[in-house]
Structure 1
Amino acid sequence: MSSSSSGKSEKGKSGPALPRPSSSVILVSPKNEILLLHRVQTSSSFASAHVFPGGNLAPQDGDCPAEGDKKRHEDSPSYRRAAIRELFEESGILLAKDTSSKKMLAVNEEEREKGRKAIHQDEITFAEWVRTQNVHAEADIDGLIPFTRWITPPNVPRRYTTQMYLYFLPLPIESDKRLLQEIPAEGEREEIPIPTSDGGVEVTEAIFLTASEWLRKAGRGEIMLFPPQYLLLHLTAQFLDKEPRTAVSEEMGERRRELVEFVHSGTPPWTEKCISPKMLKVSSDGRTVLALDHPGPELEGSNRRGESDRVVLVKFGKGAARQVEVRWKKDVFEADRQEKSNL
């Protein structure tokens, strides 16, 4: 993961740490599965967790509004370029198009591995490397659909302002055969060593599974998902994983269209929601109930809002998040009222 000079995490003279600009991609495969990366235990963020590909903005991604500017927390080309670059560095999956033919760029694995290392080691920028593969190619930033922004709560030492994006890889009927050959098959594991200055490894594996399967794994305690990833998988699963599961492109395409329609719905729409989780209370089973309607201290006084109808329940401990669940806020408070009335 490339480091960023676009933001600081150090605590100022007063107040919480400044959130670093970052991006993540919810990548949907040709089989409507979701890519998650497993971070190593020594990772600087989300250690040992399964996460969407992504990372901090870097200078090569373009300018980012200054600290204190509320536009710093809005979707922009720099956030989009960072999302696609980080996806490539972390997983080797390239989201670039020939601007003339409008076709996705297919590059063989050997060349992609060379490119990942060169970009990570700052020998070449991502945009420059893409043009060495095809002079008409560039990152497919227009294919990214904003799907919430998350600002780390102010009580956390290391904070981020993270723009989440949804991206659909072409369905089989739409795809260049060469491109599909470069994408891992269903459930296939691909070991991904990430070049770093000290020779370490940030990500241990990348796997495509259905959103529902990722949620089941988290529910069984087999993997760890933090609230942002859990909520977005929960929402995505309601559309992409409707029963019966099918491999028919027309039906898969319709489920994608329904998801996109949902992402653009709501007040504010999910494309604009900005969420800085805030503790509401502790539930009777000891889990923290997180409100999702606050946009964070950096956006106080603005018209930015989060999600007011849902909450996330989670048990935190020693850097871990367990027993995560999404519930309707009204149901949580109704359960409280019933408990009190039964006392």
Structure 2
Amino acid sequence: MSTAAPDPVEPKPAATVLLVRDEPGAGGLQVFLQRRVAGMAFAGGMTVFPGGGVSPDDVPDPRRWRGPEPARFGSWLGQPSELAAALVTAAVRETFEECGVLLAARPGTEPGPLPTTTAWRDALVGRHATMPGLLAEHDLELRADLLVPWARWITPMRNPKRYDTAFLVARVPEGQVADDATTEAVEAGWWSPSEAIAGYAAGDLQLMAPTLRTLEELSPHDTAAEVLDAAARRAIDPITPEVRREGRVVTITLPGDPDWRYEEARS
């Protein structure tokens, strides 16, 4: 007697930020990565870009939005404008919560060194404040113009936890410092894409397929400006990896790129 397969879980909207900079002194491209706490329900122990799920409170005030309109982000990402606005807001919020970088500024100014904002960050993390609320309270504009869409990844249908994730690029503002003061990660820092890929190949870093693929796409670029320029010219098609399991080995491939493979052993 056959049993019908359960309906796939509806993917939750999420945003991930590829925070980039030119390495101080040397000048080569670097990207900010965090190694998540091993016991976390999603991506425990993995090295990832900052990001997370969209909150119901990620509804921006259009009077405090500077940059391309949400409908423009929607056209880039293939999403309704309301959801695109929430994705950009979530990207700004998660970047501030997870690494202390705030992509916002007072009207007529550029983001720069931050005043003491520990209380702002703690309030967000503790869900005692929202990003739109903080922007209004401190007379700040959300700087959507500093974020450029890079990709959109959708978790395969058979997974019990699914996300529809917008990957966006941002250069860390001059004078701001990305840190590791988050309970979600055990360490964080700046890596060149090629160093992170080599660390994965050596078994020193655990990377999910979208992270590895994105690092490979970043690696040909030498500077943050090159990455932002490349992002502005990318055509974004949603990517849903194809998963095949043979014994303990799980193989992930990408539609339209049969030569790319990602393998991992699972219990």
Taking a change above 3 Å as real, the CA distance of residues 260 and 311 of structure 1, as seen in their structure-2 partners, is farther
How far apart are residue 226 of structure 1 and its match? Answer: 0.7
Give the Å deviation of 1:36. Answer: 0.7
2:49 to 46, 52, 66: 52
Quote how far apart the aligned CAs of 1:310 are.
6.0
2:208 alignment counterpart? 226
Q: Structure 2 counterpart of 1:275, which letter?
A: I
Q: Does 1:318 align with 2:263?
A: no
Gaps of 5+ in 1: 1-12, 65-69, 185-189, 195-201, 241-251, 294-307, 320-343
- Partners of 2:10 and 2:81 lie apart in 1 by 12
The answer as to 2:177 corresponding to 1:183 is yes
Q: Distance in 2 between matches of 1:287 and 1:280?
A: 6
Residues 145-189 of structure 1 show CA distances to partners (whole Å, capped at 9, x for unaligned) of: 11110110011100000000011235xxxx4xxxx2x415xxxxx
Larger Rg belongs to = 1
The aligned residue for residue 138 of structure 1 is 141
Alignment of 1:131-280 (within 5 A): 131-133=136-138, 135=139, 137-170=140-173, 175=174, 180=175, 182-184=176-178, 190-194=179-183, 202-240=184-222, 252=223, 256-257=225-226, 259-265=227-233, 269-270=234-235, 272-279=236-243
Q: Given that residues 152 and 159 in structure 1 are in contact (C-alpha distance below 8 angstroms), is that contact kept between their aligned partners in structure 2?
A: yes
Deviations 1:82-134 (A, max 9, x none): 01101111111111122223x114323xx32211111122222123224444x
- Does the Cα contact within 8 Å between 2:180 and 2:189 map onto a contact in 1? no
SS in 2 for 1:15: coil
Instruction: Report sequence identity in percent.
Output: 24
User: Corresponding residue for 1:34?
Assistant: 31
Aligned amino acid, residue 143 of structure 1: L
2:120 matched residue in structure 1: 115
- Structure showing greater relative contact order (alpha-carbon pairs closer than 8 Å, 6 or more residues apart): 2
Deviation at residue 140 of structure 1 after TM alignment = 1.3
Specify the alignment match of 1:19 in structure 2.
11
- Kept in 1: contact 2:59–2:132 (CA 8 A): no
Are residues 73 and 23 of structure 1, via their aligned partners in 2, closer, same or farther at CA, if it must alter by over 3 Å? farther
Query: How far is 1:48 from its partner?
Result: 0.3
Counterpart position of 1:91: 99
**For each residue in 1:38-67, what CA deviation from the matched residue of structure 2 results, as whole angstroms up to 9, or x when unmatched?**
101111211100001000101121299xxx
Q: Does the C-alpha gap of structure 1 residues 311 and 46 become closer, same or farther in structure 2, counting only changes over 3 Å?
A: farther
2:252 and 2:52 map into 1 onto residues whose CA distance is 27
| Root mean square deviation, CA, Å | 2.8
Instruction: Report the equivalent of 1:335.
Output: none
Q: Deviations over 1:265-318 (max 9, x none)?
A: 5xxx44x22100014798xxx672502x3xxxxxxxxxxxxxx24653222233
SS at the partner of 1:85?
helix
TM-score normalised by the chain length of structure 2? 0.79
What is the total number of aligned residue pairs between the two structures? 240
Q: Is the 8 A contact 1:95 1:105 kept in 2?
A: no
Seen in structure 2, the aligned counterparts of structure 1 residues 205 and 193 have a Cα distance that, compared at 3 Å, is same
Distance verdict in 2 for CA 1:167–1:191, change over 3 Å:
closer
In structure 2, how many angstroms separate the alpha carbons of the residues matched to 1:130 and 1:311?
Answer: 46
- Give the TM-score normalised by the residue count of structure 1: 0.63
SS of residue matched to 2:159: coil
Q: Is the 8 A contact 1:289 1:311 kept in 2?
A: no
Counterpart of 1:100 in structure 2 is: 108
Q: Equivalents in 1 of 2:97, 2:229: separation in Å? A: 30
